[in-house]
Structure 1
Amino acid sequence: MTGNEKDMPGRYASSPCLAGEVAPDYFDPLAVDPEQARDVARWRRAERTRLRTERQALSVEARRRVGEALAGHLRRLLAECFDGARPPVLSAFWPIKGEPDLRPLMAELCASGVTVALPIVEVKAAPLVFRRWTPETRMVRGDWNIPVPPGEAEALTPGITFAPVMGWDEGCYRLGYGGGYFDRTLAALAPRPFSIGIGLQSARLATIYPQPHDIPLDVIVTEDGVQARRGRPGASPPEP
């Protein structure tokens, strides 16, 4: 990034953001049982803390290996899903807090002719917006000092999304940062983009205890390959 970034107007973070610190008690007030929803919210907060601590403890070399393995699996998945053709607009993410670093793959996709975008929170508690990114994009700092494309970057609608997952289950449900931004976005986009959850194999959970606001992703990919495809049901909620 350049020295001019600090002079640029601030924006909120892209989808791998600190949303859990904005809305740490996020839960769906329309759930069948509000007390159950609060129990699930408490359990999720504890799991986020545990999983984030474990992820950030990985060495630089371990993170590099994870990123390279994921890039290989994602190349194959994209070729499979689109029969070797270029996918539509693809939304990726800028890595924070130990998330897999897919920036080399993003640059590779751009070079091959794929249009890549990054998600941005421009309005709190609203769906994400997407702005075009290339390796030459002069990034600006979001409100949590996360690099995002500038406001003049082209607004796009993705046909496929990479979604960082803090945790995941075999029903393709994603444990994110707790702000609900990604679920709101999937619910708002029509047609809904093909969504790929990306995380660590060690972040697998028996269930995230899906609630009414949770939207399953289409597939989960870890450093070990494709782990889940949409369609498997979740489990029962945790005990209080």
Structure 2
Amino acid sequence: MSQKTSILSKANLEPAEAKAACRKLAAQNRNHLAASQTDAVALLATHAERLIDRFGNGIYAAYSPIRSELSPFDLLARLAGLGCATALPITPAEGQPLRFHRWAVGDRLDDGPYGTKQPPADQPLCRPDVILAPMLAFDAAGWRLGYGGGFYDRTLAVLRGAGHHLSAIGIAYDGQKLDKIPVGPYDMPLDAVLCPTGLFTPVPPQN
């Protein structure tokens, strides 16, 4: 963690440069966590009831994991078993928000861009009440470090701008937490982060 923190502390780095530097180290760190914490997926699913208690029994949209992302599928299956509807995104063209389609664990997945898997396009569209988002890293204030495509930030801005109330919850290993994430002008903070050890509530920085 100290190596990543030192990168973020360099005053001469612009946010975009700091993010690019941080992504490389955060990806290496997540690869190590994924290889060493083989029980993380099952532990994540044990917190389904806690999510429902706090965020309700609506539509939960997750993601199909790529690279070393922590898989939300056991959690999604548990949420469905508790009466929640579930969904996955279809990745759009660059610059567009994600589109969410109803999907349940065990249903068919088609190939998507960037090595992703996604539900068939003929499945019903939906507007999720909760978005479970993957990440490279997060910090105590709830800022999320993604891959740089801006899909999740754009999606949250569009849905909330249209008056739709929803919560954004990051999915991460506990060890993905950094001291500080570099923030850009269009970044959207998370409402919570769910880790194998439990639900983390961000604390906004004091002015």
For the aligned pair, the TM-score class normalised by the smaller chain equals 0.7 to 0.9
Matches within 5 A, 1:52-91: 52-58=27-33, 60=35, 62-82=36-56, 87-91=57-61
In the TM superposition, what is the alpha-carbon distance from 1:182 to its structure 2 partner?
A: 0.6
TM-score by length of 1: 0.73
The aligned counterpart of 1:130 is 100
Tell me: CA distance 1:227–1:192, structure 2 relative to 1, closer, same or farther (3 Å).
Answer: same
In the TM superposition, what is the alpha-carbon distance from 1:144 to its structure 2 partner?
A: 2.7
Q: Which sections of structure 1, spanning at least 5 residues, go unmatched?
A: 1-35, 236-240
In structure 1, what is the Cα distance between the partners aligned to 2:126 and 2:13? Answer: 35
In structure 2, what is the Cα distance between the partners aligned to 1:164 and 1:71? Answer: 15
The aligned counterpart of 1:221 is 194
Over the residues paired in the alignment, what is the CA RMSD in angstroms? Answer: 2.3
The aligned counterpart of 2:135 is 165
In the TM superposition, what is the alpha-carbon distance from 1:179 to its structure 2 partner?
A: 0.8
How many residue pairs get aligned? The number is: 194
The aligned counterpart of 2:69 is 99
Match of 1:204 among 165, 177, 197: 177
Q: Is the 8 A contact 1:161 1:196 kept in 2?
A: yes
> Residue type matched to 2:204 in 1?
R
Q: Which sections of structure 2, spanning at least 5 residues, go unmatched?
A: 1-10
In the TM superposition, what is the alpha-carbon distance from 1:205 to its structure 2 partner?
A: 1.5
In structure 1, what is the Cα distance between the partners aligned to 2:67 and 2:206? Answer: 27
The aligned counterpart of 1:44 is 19
In structure 2, what is the Cα distance between the partners aligned to 1:121 and 1:133? Answer: 14
- Classify the secondary structure of the residue corresponding to 1:64: coil
Tell me the percent identity: 31
Match of 1:195 among 151, 168, 174: 168
Match of 1:145 among 115, 125, 134: 115
Matches within 5 A, 1:179-194: 179-189=149-159, 190-194=163-167
The aligned counterpart of 1:32 is none
Larger radius of gyration: 1
- Cα deviation code 1:42-63 (max 9, x no counterpart): 1111211111112223465x44
- Classify the secondary structure of the residue corresponding to 1:144: helix
Q: Is the 8 A contact 1:210 1:234 kept in 2?
A: no
Structure 1 outlier segments of 4+, above 6 Å? none
> Residue type matched to 1:130 in 2?
F
